[in-house]
Chains A and B, each alone.
Chain A
Amino acid sequence: MAKWECMVCGYIYDPEKGDPDAGIGPGTAFEDLPDDWVCPDCGAGKDMFEKMD
């Protein structure tokens, strides 16, 4: 599964780790995050993220 990077602040969403603070378990693909999920570092929405190579 691909990592995704926040264009606003540089936070990297790693699906292997998820985002436990927001109730997102390890193994959750970026595409499967809820639409209202926001960057834990800066609050930007999913549309501010870009897939990493």
Chain B
Amino acid sequence: MTRYVIVGNGVAGVTAAQAIVKAQPGADVHLYSAEPYPYYRRPQLPAFIAGEVGEAEITHRPLDWYEQQSIHVHLARAVVELDPAARRLRLDDGSSAPYDRLLLTTGGWAWMPPVEGADRRGVFTLRTLDDARAIRDHARTVRQATVVGGGLLGLETARALRALGLTVTVLEFSTHLMPRQVDAQGATVLQSILEQQGIRVLTRTSAAAIVGNGAVSGLRTQDGRELPAGLVLCAAGWRSETTLARQAGLAVNKGIVVDEHLQTSAADVYAAGDAAEAHGLLYGIVPAAIEQARAAAANMVAPGSAVYSGTLPFTTLKVAGAELTSLGSCTIEDESLVQLRHADLPRQQYRKLVLQGGRIIGAILLNERERTNPIKQLIERGSDVSAYADRLLDEDFDLRTLL
């Protein structure tokens, strides 16, 4: 019987395991995770820090789920070596595990900027449930926090810390918040909403040094400000976890390089999720991890049966008073593109469409929920909307008539 082995118990690993047993009931599936927890939802960790959801609620797949699915899960069991020639893994207890088809869903790790004092107590990154617990526990003992990085994770965690009653300052190195998901004009509206929630935002600066005597007591910015802080969260980005793949000699660029079938450079070894670099891209979003995992699982069961053609970038930031959705290529500035914008500051709304050759290729929608579905569809279908370009963002124009 074919032995399927998956390294990593995040959304990609669990989705693939489930897809394999669904496609081939009774399949021999083994899933290894260095973490001791059954699958939990990483995007909910900020809400966990805020105390809005508990551990049971974010644990989407409790242990008995694996049992019901007949998936052999090995928790707190790190894979330390991959030998693709022998089709064998070595585990951290010294034992080894053979495979016929292997899937690497090793995820990513939070990047810590090389800042003096980053090793002080009270300085955190957020990636795992253990990180979230430590942040939550520490947040109870302090009053002020600084978040380094004004991207999606930084802002969601800033919101969570604010909900716990802390004074929060966010530092964003770029000219504006969420530079990958929103343009300068949209970020202005977003920033004003955050400031109304009591979250202070400083752009064009970052941490120069984290100061304190053992524990952190403050942060010095690159532009010379001294910010008192008992907690510093670095949300300055992430990197793919590629150690195992590199050591095994697989092709690795920023992530583990995979082809359109999610296969790596080694036979019968696949990769998906944050660890994988597909079509030259690191997606870093859950929908891409799920779509990649499904395609990889299909190909593990029946080689060559599924092609992964890419995922429409889609992120949503939800903080009180703001729901910001970014779709597709929404922040590129190029003379060949048409940029349509509409800002309504009093209503805290902003909408922007990016058109290329008459087709919508990206959108930024702030507090524009009813427009999200139709625009997502128009992008995915590649519909030519050039005849309506001057009316697309009108208040009373119903985008659904174009579908």
Where the two chains meet, the residues of A that have a C-beta atom closer than 8 Å to any C-beta of B are: 7-10, 21-23, 36-38, 40-45, 48
Contacts and interface: CB of A to CB of B under 8 A. Distances in A.
Contacts of A8: 41, 43, 286-287, 290
Given A36-B377, A38-B372, A43-B376, 17 more contacts: A7-B15, A7-B290, A8-B43, A10-B41, A10-B60, A22-B370, A22-B373, A23-B370, A36-B376, A40-B369, A41-B318, A42-B286, A43-B314, A43-B316, A43-B325, A45-B287, A48-B287
Contacts of B182: none
B44 interface: yes
Q: For the complex of A and B, list the 7 residue pairs with the smallest distance between their C-beta atoms, beginning with the closest.
A: A8-B286, A43-B316, A36-B373, A36-B377, A42-B316, A43-B314, A9-B43
25 contacts: A7-B11, A7-B15, A7-B286, A8-B41, A8-B287, A8-B290, A9-B41, A9-B43, A10-B53, A10-B57, A10-B58, A10-B60, A21-B369, A22-B370, A36-B403, A37-B373, A38-B372, A40-B369, A41-B318, A43-B314, A43-B315, A43-B325, A43-B372, A43-B376, A44-B287
Nearest to A40: B369
Interface in B345-379: 369-370, 372-374, 376-377
What is the interface residue range for chain B against chain A?
20 to 34
A48 B287 CA distance: 8
Contacts of B376: 36, 38, 43
Given A43-B316, A43-B325, A38 B287 contact: no
A41 B372 CA distance: 12
A9 B290 contact: no
A23 B370 CA distance: 9
Most buried by B among A10, A42, A43: A43
A50 B45 CA distance: 21
Tell me if A's interface is mostly helix, strand, loop or mixed.
loop
B290 A48 contact: yes
Contacts of A37: 373
Interface string B260-278: 0000000000000000000
Most buried by A among B44, B314, B325: B314
Given A41-B316, A41-B318, A43-B314, A7 B60 contact: yes
Nearest to A23: B370
A9 to B, nearest CB: 6
Given A9-B41, A10-B41, A10-B44, A38 B60 contact: no
Nearest to A42: B316
B43 A42 contact: yes
A42 to B, nearest CB: 5
A51 B44 CA distance: 20
Interface in B1-31: 11, 15
A47 B143 CA distance: 42
A45 B374 CA distance: 12
Interface string B50-63: 00010001101000
